[in-house]
Amino acid sequence: MLKQNRCNLILGILLLYCCNLSAETTSFVNKSEKDQVREIVRHVLESNAEFVDKLPKDYFKDLIHGQSPIATLVTCADSRLHTHALDVHPDGDIFMVRNIGNQVSTAEGSIEYGVRHLHTPILFIIGHSSCGAVEAAMSKPSNLEPSIWRELETIKVVGNEVDSHTEVKKSVESNVNHQVTLALKKYSKEIDAGNLTVFGGVYDFRNDYGRGNGRLVIINVNGKTNPIEIEKMQLYSFN
Ligand SMILES: [Zn+2]
């Protein structure tokens, strides 16, 4: 696994390629950083090659001409939460929308495309343990850029004690529930017609819920947060 602090380097090198900058412009990258960049790009290309090499013949046949995903899924951009944790074969299944704090309003158009144009019957909104965006919304650090502040505006938290795991967990849940509420308002027509169900959940890699590290815990279905009420809906089972 690559070190977390290399993520910025991946973004950096991709931006450099995308912007078609000259070799002179990239000279600020010292040798050590270049070595890291080479290692990261090699990792990505080798991972891609490994993926491609394992594909059965005609794997893309049904995907080339369009998509019919089974769910729109809004998650945090956090590197600890990835599609393979929620769908082991996500290609063609998941219309994935990611942003800091798994928010509805900061990705309104993308989510609307999944719900109203791709007609996914489910909208998942999935937060996660130890979410940095939620913690930032709690602690309000002064060193954040305006663009990041704007993306924290619709994160709803409880309290400001980021050292308290309980308070962070409650804030992660509060934010998921708030995002579900926003989605229920926007997509009430689809929900009332029985064409859309909105699920809120937490990807619990910290094992805050005691069900094992990495479990997805459903905490909200169409605005219902009481586990007994959710169970009565008989929409899913742990068994
Ligand atoms: Zn997060």
d(CA 18, CA 16): 5
What is the SS3 assignment for 215?
A: strand
Q: pLDDT tens across 63-104, in order? A: 999 999 999 999 999 999 988 899 988 899 999 999 999 999
Q: How confident is the model at residue 29 (pLDDT cuts 50, 70, 90)?
A: low
Give me ligand 1 centre to Cα 228, in Å: 28
Per-residue pLDDT at 33: 86
Q: pLDDT tens across 126-178, in order? A: 999 999 999 999 999 999 999 999 999 999 999 899 999 999 999 999 999 99
Mean pLDDT calculated for residue range 26-44:
80
Q: In order of start, what are the domains of the chain with their CATH numbers?
A: 4-54 (no CATH), 71-232 (3.40.1050.10)
Helix axes 31-54, 7-18, angle to 10 degrees: 90
Give me ligand 1 centre to Cα 177, in Å: 15
For the chain, the helix, strand and coil percentages under 3-state DSSP, each to the nearest 5: 45, 15, 40
What is the SS3 assignment for 207?
A: coil
Per-residue pLDDT at 13: 40
Give me ligand 1 centre to Cα 201, in Å: 13
Give me ligand 1 centre to Cα 235, in Å: 26
Give me ligand 1 centre to Cα 215, in Å: 16
More confident residue, 188 or 26: 188
Give me ligand 1 centre to Cα 127, in Å: 7
Task: Spell out the long-range contacts of 166-174 with Cβ–Cβ below 8 A and sequence spacing 24 or more.
Answer: 167/138, 168/130, 168/131, 168/134, 168/135, 168/138, 169/129, 169/208, 171/134, 171/135, 171/137, 171/138, 172/127, 172/128, 172/129, 172/131, 172/134, 172/202, 173/127, 173/202, 173/219
Give me ligand 1 centre to Cα 55, in Å: 31
Give me ligand 1 centre to Cα 10, in Å: 19
Look over the chain and give the mean of its residue pLDDT values, rounded to a whole number: 88
Q: How confident is the model at residue 25 (pLDDT cuts 50, 70, 90)?
A: very low
Give me ligand 1 centre to Cα 85, in Å: 15
Give me ligand 1 centre to Cα 30, in Å: 31
Nearest to 101 by CA among 64, 74, 73, 140: 74
Q: What is the pTM of this model?
A: 0.84
Give me ligand 1 centre to Cα 128, in Å: 6
Helix (H) or strand (E) holding 218: strand 215-221
Mean pLDDT calculated for residue range 190-215:
96
Give me ligand 1 centre to Cα 229, in Å: 27
Per-residue pLDDT at 9: 41
d(CA 158, CA 177): 12
73, 97 contact by CB (below 8 A): yes
Residue 215's φ and ψ, nearest 5 degrees, are -75, 145
The answer to whether residue 18 scores a pLDDT higher than 80 is no
Q: How confident is the model at residue 54 (pLDDT cuts 50, 70, 90)?
A: very high
Per-residue pLDDT at 152: 93
Give me ligand 1 centre to Cα 3, in Å: 18
Q: pLDDT tens across 184-196, in order? A: 999 999 999 999 9
First to last CA, the chain: 32
Give CA angle at 221 (217, 225), nearest 5°: 75
d(CA 118, CA 123): 11
Give me ligand 1 centre to Cα 26, in Å: 31
